[in-house]
Structure formats: structure tokens, C-alpha cells
A and B are shown apart, each in its own frame.
Chain A
């Protein structure tokens, strides 16, 4: 993956074709959506918490199908605007919905992640850019930024957009954040599902959080290197200076200047390896300058 900064394409209005029918006993069989009232969906969520009757599961399916077209047109628009692949998940799985209803006592009608898509962008700066572009495109959007305040180690940016009355979740991750999230998910599946939500074995939780912090640090280094690249009149020492400012003496190296310098040197070497591996020669060149 070449980590070129994202550029927005021209904005056009997003058109949605929502297939809403008043009622149909064969809706699920025909894969068409049925419009239920908010109250009906809230009550469905309450019932699903305690038991999963087939009639309720079919109603849930009809409700989920009503997100399909909006979910798809939104993912398509995200790709047009940002020129990155978007992987769409048109319907949250039943098991996850029921577990979430029981875990968070949330209201099914207000559940924000029944449908949506995920994109992976090259850097933290690109994440900021994507937030601006998508928030401008989808006017009724709430930003849930988990980068500086991760949830059980999970870092990402989620945009919750209300489009044609439906809540659609847009996940924006850097490669580091995406790798961590997949590692945590895989670990949850193999070891303990509670890990994903802050539970499970304490040593695994601790390791995942340390790993999340380390990957975030690498993202920050990359952001500084990219900024140095974009500032054409940046003196060769700018990257090192910026990194020293990014990692204050009292937070890194236990107060010892040499240890901090070594740490930052190591980070720069890792960032250089990553830039070379990604074929991003310009960023690699900026990082190399620090050693000259």
C-alpha cells in the first residue's frame, strides 16, 4: 500500500433508492425491506433480549434489509469521494445484535452500527481529511474519535451518519489501527469473546493495550514525517525536533535524555522500514534526512 495523502473528488449529491414497503408477510423470502415504527423496533429489541422466536428474528431481518440500499449507495459514495476501497457490511449479524442488546442495554431502534462500511486510509492526517470530507458530504453526522481515548485499546474513527432516516456507521482506520482491531478480534474469538470488550485474561488485555499504544506511536511518527515532507522549506532537523516535542522528556525514557533520544532514533528507523516496505520513497527520504 502506497501511503499517498488522500485527495477529495468533486462532491455530488448522494441519491438513494430505498425500497420501503408498508408490510409483507413474504418480505424476508423476497429480500425486500419493511418499514416498522421506532416503537415497534424498540419492542422487538426488548423481546430479543430474552428469547429469539422465529417471528421476531424474521422481523429483525426485515428491519435490517431496510438498510441495504442506503448502505450500498453510501459505501459507493465514500469510494468516489476518497478513492479508497470501502468494504460494506449491509447487515450486522444476529448474534452480535443480541449480545450487544444484553451487554450494553442499548435500544435496538437507536443501534448505530446495524449497517455501514469500513475504509483504511494511509495515515492519521488522512483520517482527519476523511472526517472532513465525509462530514461535509453527509450533513447529519456525529464523529466518534477513539484515537486519543481508545476503548479497551481499540483506536479508530467512527462516523455515524443519518441518511434517509437510517443510521449508517462509517469506520475509518489507519493500517495500524486496522491490524490491531483484527488482532483483538481474532484473539477474542480464539481465547475469550470478553477480550473485545475489556474483559477476559488480564495479561492479554494489558498486552493488547501496550501494542495499541505502540502502533499509535508509529502512526504519530508517520504523521510527523509526512508533515515534514509537505513543508518544503523544512530544515533537515525538523523531523527530530518535532519528534522530541511529540515525546516529552518526562514521558519517555524515564527522564534520561539519552534513552529518549535512542527511543526516538529507533522509532524513526521503524518508520523508515515501514516507508520502504510501503514503497513510499518520499516519506522515506524525509526520515533519512534526520540521520544526515
Chain B
């Protein structure tokens, strides 16, 4: 498997319950992404905002959205894409 990763900055605002930033960086710009993530975290700490800022590295946006669908899809969408079983 060829490893050509992309770097993704994800920022989620707990107050508005919304994804406020989703930005892709080339792997070569990983440091820039980390700096941006930390800048957002510092600002949130100063303002007392409940902000989740994280960097994830994946081969593609599709892989990222599959493994971390909780950031991108609502529960109904996740459930409908998952098999269900009867209750014992």
C-alpha cells in the first residue's frame, strides 16, 4: 500500500455543535497544520470556548471520513450505513 498521506485539520465547536473548520494540507505542510491547530487551541483557552481541534493524517479524505465518521455524519446516516441485527 502506497503511503501518500494528507493532513487534515478538524475543528469542532461544542457550543454550536458544528464542524467549523475542515482543511486539508499536504504532508509537507504538516508543521503548518500543527501550528494552526495549536493557535486555535490557544485562542479557545483564552476565550474559554469548548473547541476541539485535532490533526488527523490519512491517505485520503474518504478514508478519514470512514474511520472518523462521527465528525462528519449524523447518527441516522451512520446507522443506515451499518447493518443491524435483531434483539435477543
A95-B51 contact given A57-B45, A186-B73, A193-B14, CB 8 Å threshold: yes
State the total of A-B contacts with C-beta under 8 angstroms: 146
CB distance from A102 to the nearest CB of B (A): 14
Do residues B83 and A90 form an inter-chain contact, with CB atoms below 8 A? no
Name the distance in Å between A70's Cβ and chain B's nearest Cβ.
Answer: 13
Q: What residue in chain B is nearest A65 (Cβ atoms)?
A: B34
- B58 adjacent to A93 (CB under 8 Å): no
CB 8 Å contact bits of A185-225 with B (1 = contact, 0 = none): 11101100100000000000000001101110110000000
- With CB as the reference atom, state the residue of chain A lying closest to B11: A93
A69 CB to closest chain B CB, in angstroms?
11
Contact A118 B88 (CB under 8 A): no
Residues A186 and B55 in contact, CB atoms below 8 Å apart? no
The one of B17, B67, B83, B88 that contacts A274, using a Cβ cutoff of 8 Å: B83
Neighbouring A residues of B3 by C-beta, 8 Å: 76, 79-80
Residues of B within 8 A of A111 (CB): none
Residues of B within 8 A of A118 (CB): 67-68
Q: What is the minimal beta-carbon distance from B49 to any residue of chain A, in angstroms?
A: 9
B21 at the interface (CB under 8 A from A): no
**B79 CB within 8 Å of chain A:** yes
Assembled-state Cα–Cα distance A252/B86 (Å): 11
Q: For the complex, would chain B's binding face be called helix, strand, loop or mixed by DSSP majority? A: mixed
Q: Name A107-159 residues within 8 Å CB distance of B.
A: 118, 120
Whether B51 and A183, one on each chain, are in contact in the complex, defined by CB atoms closer than 8 angstroms, is: no
Task: Please measure, in the bound complex, the distance between the C-alpha atom of A270 and the C-alpha atom of B44, giving whole angstroms.
Answer: 46
Asked if A282 lies at the interface with its beta carbon under 8 angstroms from chain B, I say no
Q: How far is it, in angstroms, between the C-alpha of A28 and the C-alpha of B58 when the chains are bound? A: 23
* B38 close to A (CB within 8 Å): yes
Which residues of B, 69-88, contact A by the 8 Å Cβ criterion? 69-70, 73-75, 78-79, 81-88
Q: What are the residues of chain B within 8 A of A52 when measuring CB–CB? A: 45
Is the pair A89, B54 in contact by a Cβ cutoff of 8 Å?
Answer: yes
Per the bound structure, the CA–CA distance linking A266 and B83 in Å amounts to: 12
Given A87-B64, A182-B70, decide whether A176 and B83 contact each other with a Cβ distance below 8 A.
Answer: yes
- Cα A24 to Cα B72 with chains together (Å): 37
Identity of the chain B residue whose Cβ is nearest the Cβ of A185 in the assembled complex? B70
A57:B41 contact, CB within 8 angstroms? yes
Tell me the count of chain B residues lying within 8 A, CB to CB, of chain A.
Answer: 47
Cα-based distance from A57 to B39 in the complex (angstroms): 11
Question: Is there a chain B Cβ closer than 8 Å to A91's Cβ?
Answer: yes
> Are A178 and B55 within 8 A (Cβ)?
no
A187 neighbours in B (Cβ, 8 Å): 75
- A95 and B11 CA atoms in complex are apart in Å by 12
Within 8 A of A (CB), among B33-53: 34-35, 37-38, 41-42, 44-46, 50-53
List chain B positions with a Cβ less than 8 A from chain A: 1, 3, 5, 12, 14, 17, 30-31, 34-35, 37-38, 41-42, 44-46, 50-59, 63-64, 66-70, 73-75, 78-79, 81-88
- The contact sample of 16 A-B pairs, CB cut-off 8 A, is A28-B38, A31-B31, A31-B34, A54-B45, A54-B46, A72-B57, A87-B67, A87-B68, A88-B57, A90-B57, A176-B83, A179-B69, A182-B78, A187-B75, A252-B88, A263-B88
Q: Which 3 A-B pairs have the closest CB atoms?
A: A185-B70, A31-B31, A182-B70
B-binding residues in A (CB < 8 A): 28-31, 52, 54, 57, 61, 65, 68, 72, 75-76, 79-80, 83-85, 87-96, 118, 120, 175-176, 178-187, 189-190, 193, 210-211, 213-215, 217-218, 247, 251-253, 263, 266-267, 270, 273-274, 277
